[in-house]
Amino acid sequence: MKSIFTDKGTMPVIQDLKRALGVTFPMWERFEDYTKKNSPQATSEWNFSGEKYGWSYRIKDKKRVIIYLLPRDNFFKAAFVFGQKAVDQILESDIAESIKTELKQARPYAEGRGIRIDVKDQTPVEDILKLIKIKISG
Residue 105 within a domain: yes
Can you give the pTM of this predicted structure? 0.95
pLDDT average, residue stretch 16-30: 97
- pLDDT given at position 62: 87
Residue 3 within a domain: no
Residue 5 within a domain: no
Structural domain count of the chain = 1
Q: In which domain, by residue range, is 58 found?
A: 14-137
Quickly state the pLDDT bin for 98 (edges 50, 70, 90): very high
DSSP 36-92: HHHSTT-EEEEEE--TTT-EEEEEE-SSSEEEEEEE-SS-EEEEEEE-HHHHHHHHT
Give residue-wise pLDDT tens across range 61-74.
988 999 999 999 99
